[in-house]
Amino acid sequence: MNIQDFIITAVFSGLIGLIIGYFLRDIISFFWRFYTTKIRQPKHLVQYHFEDIQTHSSQLARKGSSK
């Protein structure tokens, strides 16, 4: 490897390192948000949908009134 090839390799490696370093925080935060929302389910906190609760409670009320 001659000096010109070394300089070209060093420049490209430096530029790629700068680009990755600049966007690394955004990339990691995107993957962390994706992991926490889609893959890992919370153990204690459960997201409730009030429409489901209302239909579920109305079904229970109908079952209780028919007894």
Domain count, the chain: 1
- Residue 66, pLDDT above cutoff 60: no
- Residue 53, pLDDT above cutoff 80: no
pLDDT at 38: 79
Quote the domain boundaries for residue 44: 3-65
- Residue 46, pLDDT above cutoff 70: no
Supply φ then ψ for residue 43, to 5 degrees. -85, -35
Q: Residue 21, class by beta-carbon neighbours within 10 Å (0-12 exposed, 13-18 middle, 19+ buried)? A: exposed
Supply φ then ψ for residue 66, to 5 degrees. -80, -10
Residue 36's pLDDT band (cuts 50, 70, 90): confident
What DSSP string describes 20-38?
HHHHHHHHHHHHHHHIIII
> What is the Cα gyration radius of the chain?
27
| Greater model confidence, 50 or 54 | 50
Q: Which one of 9-18, 24-33, 46-55 scores highest in mean pLDDT?
A: 9-18
